[in-house]
Amino acid sequence: MFETLEKAPPDAIFGLMEAYKKDSNPNKVDLTIGVYQDDTGTTPIFRTVKLAEARLLEEETDKSYLSIDGSPEYAAVVQELVFGAGHEITASGRAATAQTPGGTAALRVGAEFIKRIRPEARVWLSDPTWPNHPQVFGAAGLAIETYPYFDSAANAIAFDRMIAALKEIPAGDIVLLHGSCHNPTGADPTPEQWTQIANVIAERGLIPFIDFAYQGLGDGLREDAAGILTLCRPGSEMLIASSFSKNFGLYCERVGAMTVVTPSAKAAQAALSHAKKCIRANYSNPPSHGASIVISILSDPDLRVQWESEVQGMCNRINRTRRLFVKTLAAKGVTRDFSFIERQRGIFSYTGLTKEQAQELREKHSIYILDSGRMNVAGMNAGNIDAVCQAIADVL
Ligand code: LMR
C-alpha cells in the first residue's frame, strides 16, 4: 500500500513557514502565515488570556466531554460578538452556533452540513481566496466555482465584475464572502459595496457563507462586523465561520464557531441537529480549553474591556505598519505606487510582486512572502521593515 507512495506537495502556507524555520540566516523575516507579531517580532499571549487561564486553573472542576455542539455559554458570547448586543437574530433565537476546533473546522462543518441538506449546491469562492477554501469545500464533496474579486492592475476590488458575476449565480447556491480583512488581498468592500452585495444576494436567493477569521483587525470589532450586519435582513439565511485564533491569539488552542442563521428558531434547531450529525462523525465534540478562555473573557466586564483594548492595539499597530511600509519603500527610491497598501485592511496585502520576485526575496534575502505575492503586514516591525523595503526595492 505504501511502498510506491509519492510525497504530496507542501501546503502553500504552512510549507513556506516550515522552510522559514529551517533557514539559518539570522536576518530572516517571516511574512508568510497569518500570525500577528508585535513590534518586537513576537506573537504575545494576550494578558487577558493569561488572566482567564489562571482563573480556569483555579475554578475548573472536570474534564468531561462537552456536548456535540459545545457549550451554550460559548454559543451565546459568539453570537453577541458577531451580531452585537440585543440584535434581532439573537433575540429571536433564529441562529444556532456550534463550537468548533478553529475556523477551519467551522468551515468544514458548514461545508458538510450543506452537503448533507443540499448536496447539489455549488460553492462560489472569490478569485483569489485563501488557498485552503477550495480544499475544505472540495473535501466535503461540494462543487466549487469562482467569482471575480480582485483587479490586480488597479490593486482594488473588481467590483463591477464581481456584482455582474453574482447576478448570474443560480438561486440556492452558496457564496463565500470574507467578513473583513480579505485573505489574501486585504481589499474589503466599502459600506456602499456591502449594501449592493447584500441586495444581489437577497434578490437572487443566494446563501452567504461568511468566513470571519479576522474580526477586529481591520478597523475595530464592531466596524469589522458591519458587512455581515448588512446581510442580516428579515428572514435572511446565512452561515458564519468565526475564528478566535487571531483576535484572542489562541492559534494553537483551535477555537472557532459555526453559526447558522435561519428564518425561525424552529428552523435553527433543525439546522443545528444536522450540523451535530456532521460533527459527531468527524471529531465527536469540540475541545474545551480555548473556548473556556473566550467565555471567561467575554462574560467578565473588566476582562472584556481589557481584551477590547488589546485587540484595538493590534489593529492600530497593523495600520501604522501599513503607513510606515509605504513611506519606507518611497524612501528606498521605489517609484511604483504602493499607496493601496494603506487602504487595505487586516494582516494581509497582495503586494503585486510576482512569483519570481517572491522567490528572489526568499532566496537572496531570506524574506518570506507567499508565491502569490501575499505578505503578512503584521510580520514587519521597527527592526526589520528597513531590510524588507530595501529587499523589495532590489527585486523590483
Ligand atoms: C493564513 O492564511 O495564513 C492563516 O489563515 C493561517 C492558515 O491556516 O492558513
Kind and range of the H or E element at 279? helix 265-280
- Considering the domain architecture, whether residues 259 and 334 belong to the same structural domain is answered as no
Cα-to-centroid distance, 183 and ligand 1 (Å): 8
CATH number at 354 reads 3.90.1150.10
Ligand 1: residue of 11, 31, 104, 130 to mutate (most ligand atoms within 8 A of CB) is: 130
Q: Is the CB of 181 under 6 A from ligand 1?
A: no
- Considering the domain architecture, whether residues 316 and 291 belong to the same structural domain is answered as no
Ligand 1, atom 4, residue with closest C-alpha: 34
Q: Residue range 364-373: average pLDDT? A: 96
Question: Which of 268, 299, 330 delimits the end of a domain?
Answer: 299
Q: What are the tens digits of pLDDT across the range 42-99?
A: 999 999 999 999 999 999 999 999 999 999 999 999 999 999 999 999 999 999 999 9
Task: Say if 103 falls within a structural domain.
Answer: yes
Q: Residue range 277-294: average pLDDT? A: 98
Q: Is the CB of 183 under 6 A from ligand 1?
A: yes
Q: Nearest Cα to 183, choosing from 145, 137, 207, 215?
A: 215
Range of the domain at 100: 65-299
Q: How confident is the model at residue 116 (pLDDT cuts 50, 70, 90)?
A: very high
Ligand 1, atom 2, residue with closest C-alpha: 34
Q: Is the CB of 379 under 6 A from ligand 1?
A: no
Q: Give me the number of domains the chain comprises.
A: 2
- Which residues are designated catalytic? 130, 211, 246
- pLDDT of res. 209: 98
Task: Say if 57 falls within a structural domain.
Answer: no
Question: Which of 270, 299, 328 delimits the end of a domain?
Answer: 299
- Cα separation of 158 and 321, whole Å? 25
Cα-to-centroid distance, 149 and ligand 1 (Å): 19
Ligand 1: residue of 11, 13, 253, 377 to mutate (most ligand atoms within 8 A of CB) is: 13
Q: Is the CB of 307 under 6 A from ligand 1?
A: no
Q: Is the CB of 248 under 6 A from ligand 1?
A: no
Question: Which of 299, 329, 360 delimits the end of a domain?
Answer: 299
Q: Is the CB of 186 under 6 A from ligand 1?
A: no
- Considering the domain architecture, whether residues 295 and 317 belong to the same structural domain is answered as no
Task: Say if 52 falls within a structural domain.
Answer: no
- Considering the domain architecture, whether residues 204 and 141 belong to the same structural domain is answered as yes
- Considering the domain architecture, whether residues 290 and 338 belong to the same structural domain is answered as no
- Cα separation of 115 and 70, whole Å? 22
Ligand 1: residue of 31, 132, 243 to mutate (most ligand atoms within 8 A of CB) is: 132
Q: Residue range 244-251: average pLDDT? A: 98
Q: Nearest Cα to 213, choosing from 174, 175, 253, 183?
A: 183
Share of the chain above pLDDT 90, in %: 99
Task: Say if 8 falls within a structural domain.
Answer: no
- pLDDT of res. 56: 96
Ligand 1, closest atom to CA 33? 3
- pLDDT of res. 307: 98
Residue listed under C-alpha cell 437572487: 204
Q: Nearest Cα to 157, choosing from 199, 191, 193?
A: 193
Q: Residue range 12-16: average pLDDT? A: 91
- Considering the domain architecture, whether residues 179 and 252 belong to the same structural domain is answered as yes
Task: Say if 6 falls within a structural domain.
Answer: no
Q: What are the tens digits of pLDDT across the range 46-57?
A: 999 999 999 999
Ligand 1, atom 6, residue with closest C-alpha: 34
Q: Residue range 178-191: average pLDDT? A: 97
Cα-to-centroid distance, 171 and ligand 1 (Å): 30
Q: Is the CB of 132 under 6 A from ligand 1?
A: yes
- Considering the domain architecture, whether residues 33 and 96 belong to the same structural domain is answered as no
Higher pLDDT residue, 158 or 12? 158
- pLDDT of res. 260: 98
Cα-to-centroid distance, 33 and ligand 1 (Å): 5
- Cα separation of 358 and 269, whole Å? 48
- Considering the domain architecture, whether residues 236 and 379 belong to the same structural domain is answered as no
- Considering the domain architecture, whether residues 168 and 272 belong to the same structural domain is answered as yes
Task: Say if 307 falls within a structural domain.
Answer: no
- Considering the domain architecture, whether residues 202 and 255 belong to the same structural domain is answered as yes
- Considering the domain architecture, whether residues 149 and 213 belong to the same structural domain is answered as yes
- Considering the domain architecture, whether residues 316 and 284 belong to the same structural domain is answered as no
Please give the sequence-ordered ranges of beta strands (E in DSSP) within the chain, or none if there are none.
Answer: 29-30, 95-100, 122-127, 143-148, 150-151, 156-157, 174-178, 207-212, 238-243, 256-261, 348-350, 367-368, 374-376
Task: Say if 198 falls within a structural domain.
Answer: yes
Q: Residue range 265-275: average pLDDT? A: 98
- pLDDT of res. 298: 98
The DSSP string of 347-391 is SEEE----HHHHHHHHHHH-EE--TTSEEEGGG--TTTHHHHHHH
- pLDDT of res. 71: 97
Q: Is the CB of 34 under 6 A from ligand 1?
A: yes
- pLDDT of res. 357: 97
- Cα separation of 212 and 43, whole Å? 21
CATH number at 249 reads 3.40.640.10
Q: Is the CB of 13 under 6 A from ligand 1?
A: yes
Task: Say if 370 falls within a structural domain.
Answer: yes
- pLDDT of res. 219: 96
| Residues 6 or more apart whose Cβ sits within 8 Å of residue 157 | 149, 150, 151, 187, 188, 189, 193
